[in-house]
Structure 1
Amino acid sequence: MEKSNSSDELEEPTFQVYKRRWFVLATVAMLNVSINILWISFSSVASSVSYYYEVSPSGVDLLSAIGFLIGLPVCLLSTWMVDKLGLRFTVTFANVITFLGGLIRCVSTFPGLEGSFNKNVQYWCAVAAQVLVGIANPLGFCLPTKVAQDWFPPNEVALASGIITLSFVLGVTMGNAITPFVITKSEYVPYLNLMWFIPSIITLILGLVSVNRSKPLTSPSKSSAVAETIHITFGKRLKKLLTNKNFLVLVLSVGGAIGFFNAIISQLQQLMCARGYEVWFSGLCGALVLLSGIVGGGFSTFVATKTGKLEETAKIILCVGVIMIVLILELLRKSGMDWGIAVSLVVGGFIAFGILPLGMELSEENTYPLESSTGITIINLSAQLQGLILIAVSGFLDTDLVSSDLAIETCTDNSLNEDGVDPGNVKAKDKTHFLMLLMCHITAVCLIFVIGLKSKYKRRDAEHKKIRQTRNSFIAEHLM
């Protein structure tokens, strides 16, 4: 246990940080990994899933979109749960329902037993499982700044928040990249459900062992100590957030960036197979952008922490990242661009993904000392809504492929069907209009962020003031 003493014992308490903080961080990170593996794994092999469950591509889209839809009302519930019931209960509850979601998927298609359920029952079991995963998602997503603020000292806050935020990307990376290499035929879908059930088991056990309390016995910093003394009702807190200009900019822009990311990843396989790219290559592309994004997000967090230029770093990486994203989307409209797509995804992912951890930190700085999970939850609500709209609209923007593209598309590969017969469920579509919509969306996100954000650093300033001074200043400004 590490200790840090204040020079004024009467005014300032003794701060302590505990080694257990790393186990708490690991648990919450693993929770986000487990949730996002289960969420994305169906979309990463959409054709195989469509053939196995005997549903159309829109039926596969539902398996991704249902999580967004269910997550909308759960977002606000999640902040109440963290605030009233604490971190320990929230993590345990999220772990349990993620485990149950994985269990339902696994049992309904378990190798050797799948014949006990017809395909319609199996499919709706998968939908029910995705509903549970959708409920868990906002609970895990709202925790990065909460864990960082309550458990970590000032010099580790950005690192802790960044690790948990990027764990969400790591989960999507694993589900999107590994799945296509394992599930090469539709009859292998039961192994998909079995394989990705295992992380939820590990996470549940880790959570029960490591998260035995919601907060440490002693605060790790001045800013954390002040935040613990501020108690206002949810309604007043919500009003303060929704009248905070900088926070509203973050809700639209950071939420929009996450929504864009969710939409493009969930549709990537369908986008690429229509242009003749194999399933394994779309999985590789997903892995490249996400893995480079994890590295780039960590690098961006390091640069922002060392320089103290959080807002400036975020604006630069988003502007450059959006240019790369538009290039990537343009390349996805064409066939035979394997190397161009792969290289641009590596560069674009490295640059653009820094907005995720930096956006979380900017939210905390601009809403401090309000309960940190509330702001993150509202950003997630915006992300869920924007992602859901983009995915829902994608189907309406589809057009038929021209004859030259029909000759090379790989979406309707009959070898995916275990009977060797094309049931007519999977039909390749031209998604050019959807890609153009994505270009417009991410450009608007960038403009809102760059022009609208004029960040304040309230939490950072609190570390240089006495606790009583910071608390009285907040009360005089907001509660009197």
Structure 2
Amino acid sequence: MDSEKYDLEKNDTINSETEKLTDINNTCSVLIVKSQNNIHRKCEQEYVIKVYQKRWFLLALFIIITALNGIQWVQYSIITNITMRYYGITSRMVDYTSLIYLITYLPLVLPASYFMDKYGMRATLVTASLGNCIGCWFKVLSADPDKFYIGFMGQFVLSCTQLVIISTPSSFAAVWFGANEVSTACALGVFGQQLGMALGFILPPLMIRNHEELDSIGKDFYRFFMLNAIITTVVLVLTIIFCQKQPEYPPSKAQALIREGKAASDNSVMETVKSFKRLLKQKSFLTLLAVFGVTLGVFNSFCTFLNQVILVYFAGGQVFAGQVGLVVTIAGMVGSSIIGYILDKTKKYKITAIIVIIMSTIGLILFMISLRTKSYTLVFAASAFLGLFITTFISVAYEYAVELTYPEPEANTAGLMSAFSTFTGVLGIVLFGDIIEYYGEFLYHVMLCAFMMISVILSFLVSNKLKRQAVIILEKKQYQLSAGSEK
């Protein structure tokens, strides 16, 4: 009798644990087996979980690909005064070289997400490398005062390429890395974007000088563009040789469930559309989406107008502007790596996001104050503080969103986030560009801080229901209970 009572209690415990998943996504119900015996059998017999050493080499290659694209974003705008003088164009045209990165995202985010979801990581990274290579060779041909339009064509190609890059870190991490290192891998993937931004801030001012003669400036442009083109060509070859769609065995049980779901689906365009619709019905995700969009809109505007703002207080300070951008992004790399490790250990996504956004707001206020002191040291210190948090939020938000929306494809979740942040970035650059031109940089900074305060308020409203973690925790409990019943 005692043995039968014990078995009944154990079965009741397993059933109650299984019922906790009923509020996860309807899609998830297809992936998770209802009975305890089926769950145990699937976890133990069908799913072979394995991580591969080559994941670190592929991550390094991924970082290089994203960095090479990130370099291009502010390549012209960080030396706005030189670009205007050499090509004989207005500052607004220079702004468009940054803005094009945002404009192309909006109409192409759906096909890009479908492409990533259907064709996998190899096709995505090869396409990204090819786009980087083509865009950079266009720029080589543009190193002439009358050929700015060719450079803009290259910038357009590169802006389309970033569509299959910017949303990829969370997907890449999930495909190749285990559950206990996926946040770190995602943070390192975002690190590639930040590294590219850092190089984009510092290299153009160092390699393209404001010479008196335009021919000398043209030679600087040519050397810089040629260096980019050669490196992207080499990386394209490496990508074609070494990249693969996915490892033979999934690195985690959560990824195994997603693979099973993809095998059961038709991977059609309509399935991608349905996924987007499901995402847009999740209130907590939409709140995080608003926070991410506002914060990234502020950051995109900050980077685009950094040169113009610095020159207000530091005459001839285009090199200093690049150095400030470098400090912001390097601090972001450090912050992203630290936060990624912390998230892997604690899984405290909500409180981490709130702290990061509050500190970002404080950093922006300190940066505005430091400019008025005209102290190089204080500006560098404020920039480091700002970068340590505001760029870190990117990786935090991507992983947080994947947790909230599991088991929706990571590419769709990240794509929707990037699309909305792109939309807010476009609005921000247009709005703040006019504010700087007509009202000055003080009102510009006040508006940036005001929008960050909105992000702070909204961040408290995001749910802390982590669906991917719920699956992992439940499976562990079910395995422990099933193992106990066999003893």
| TM-score, normalised via structure 1 length | 0.84
Q: Against the structure 1 CA distance between its residues 192 and 459, is the aligned structure 2 distance closer, same or farther, given a 3 Å change threshold?
A: same
1:64 Cα offset (Å): 0.9
1:325 aligns with 2:364: yes
Q: Give the corresponding residue for 2:336.
A: 297
Q: CA deviation at 1:162?
A: 0.8
Preserved contact between residue 94 and residue 139 of structure 1 (Cα < 8 Å):
yes
The aligned counterpart of 2:172 is 147
Residues 141 and 151, structure 2, Cα contact 8 Å, conserved in 1: no
Aligned length: 424
The answer to whether the 8 Å contact 1:72/1:381 transfers is: yes
Q: Is the 8 A contact 2:287 2:462 kept in 1?
A: yes
From 416, 424, 438, give the equivalent of 1:386. Answer: 424
- Secondary structure at 1:153's aligned position in 2? coil
Offset, 1:354: 2.4
Judged with a 3 Å threshold, the aligned counterparts in structure 2 of structure 1 residues 49 and 28 are, in CA distance, closer, same or farther, namely: same
Q: Choose 43-52 or 456-465, whichever is displaced more.
A: 456-465
Q: Of the candidates 248, 256, 279, which is equivalent to residue 241 of structure 1?
A: 279
Q: Given that residues 20 and 210 in structure 1 are in contact (C-alpha distance below 8 angstroms), is that contact kept between their aligned partners in structure 2?
A: no
Aligned residue for 2:185?
160
Q: Distance in 2 between matches of 1:70 and 1:464?
A: 40
Q: In structure 2, do the counterparts of structure 1 residues 301 and 190 end up closer, same or farther at CA, with 3 Å as the change threshold?
A: same
Counterpart of 1:424 in structure 2 is none
Gaps of 5+ in 2: 1-38, 212-216, 266-270, 480-487
TM superposition shift of 1:190:
2.5
Q: CA deviation at 1:159?
A: 1.2
Partner of 1:453: 462
Asked if structure 2 preserves the Cα contact closer than 8 Å seen for 1:27 and 1:210, the reply is: no
Match of 1:25 among 59, 69, 82: 59
TM alignment of 1:28-67, pairs within 5 A? 28-67=62-101
What does residue 474 of structure 1 align with? none
Equivalence for 1:374: 412
Matching residue's letter, 2:453: T
Aligned position for 2:252:
221
Percentage of pairs with the same residue: 22
How far residue 16 of structure 1 moved from its aligned partner, in angstroms, is 1.4
Q: Work out whether residues 144 and 164 of structure 1, in 8 Å CA contact, stay in contact via their aligned partners in 2.
A: yes
Q: CA deviation at 1:365?
A: 0.5
> Which residue in 2 is equivalent to 1:273?
311
- Summarize the alignment of residues 159-238 of structure 1 with structure 2, pairs less than 5 Å apart: 159-185=184-210, 187=217, 188-211=220-243, 213-231=244-262, 233-238=271-276
Q: Which of these residues, 118, 122, 129, is aligned with residue 84 of structure 1?
A: 118
How far the C-alpha of 1:7 sits from its partner, in A, is 8.3
Which residue does 2:484 correspond to in 1? none
- Cα distance in 2 between the residues matched to 1:43 and 1:68: 14
| Distance in structure 2 (CA, Å) of the matches to 1:27 and 1:198 | 16
Counterpart in the other structure of 2:25: none
Runs of 4+ in 1 over 6 A off after TM superposition: none
Structure whose residues are more often helix by fraction: 2
Query: Residues 399 and 162 (structure 1 numbering): CA distance in 2 closer, same or farther, change over 3 Å?
Result: closer
**TM-superposition CA deviations, 1:424-462 (whole Å, max 9, x none):** xxxxx832232222122222122211x221122211222
In structure 2, how many angstroms separate the alpha carbons of the residues matched to 1:99 and 1:23? 21
SS of 1:91 mapped into structure 2: helix
SS at match of 1:382: helix
Is the 1:293–1:353 Cα contact (8 Å) retained in structure 2? yes
Instruction: Report if aligned partners of 1:227, 1:368 keep a CA contact under 8 Å in 2.
Output: no
> Which residue does the alignment assign to 2:36?
none
C-alpha displacement of 1:17? 1.5
Matches for 1:346-425 after TM superposition, within 5 Å: 346-399=384-437
- Listed one character per residue, the Cα deviations across residues 244-296 of structure 1 (whole Å, up to 9, x for unaligned) are 11211221112322222222111101111122341111111111111111101
CA–CA separation in structure 2 for the residues paired with 1:157 and 1:392: 36
CA deviations over 1:19-47 (Å, ceiling 9, x no partner): 22223322322221011101111111111
> Which residue in 1 is equivalent to 2:156?
131
What is the Cα deviation at residue 140 of structure 1? Answer: 0.4
Taking only aligned residues, the RMSD between alpha carbons, in angstroms, comes to 2.2
Q: 1:84 to 1:329 in 2, by over 3 A?
A: same
Cα deviations across residues 351-400 of structure 1 (Å, max 9, x unaligned)?
Answer: 33321111111011111111111000001001111111111122322346
**Structure 2 counterparts to residues 107-118 of structure 1, below 5 A:** 107-109=141-143, 114=144
Structure 1 counterpart of 2:454, one-letter code: A
Unaligned runs of 5+ in 1: 1-5, 401-428, 471-480
Change in CA separation of 1:398 and 1:255 when aligned onto 2, cut-off 3 Å: closer
Structure 2 counterpart SS, 1:161: helix
Contact 1:230–1:370, Cα closer than 8 Å, also in 2: no
Query: Which secondary structure does the structure 2 equivalent of 1:108 belong to?
Result: coil
**Mapped partners of 1:336, 1:432: distance in 2:** 14
Question: Helix, strand or coil for the counterpart of 2:50?
Answer: strand
CA deviations 1:89-128 (Å, max 9, x no partner) are 121112111110000001232xxxx4xxxx33x1101111
Pair 1:260-2:294 in alignment: no
Q: What is the rounded CA distance, in whole Å, between the counterparts of 2:290 and 2:237 in structure 1?
A: 36
| In 1: Cα distance, 2:236 partner to 2:396 partner | 28
Matches of 1:274 and 1:189 in 2, distance apart? 25
The separation in 2 between residues aligned to 1:439 and 1:394, in whole angstroms, is 12
Contact 1:221 1:463 in 2 (8 A): no
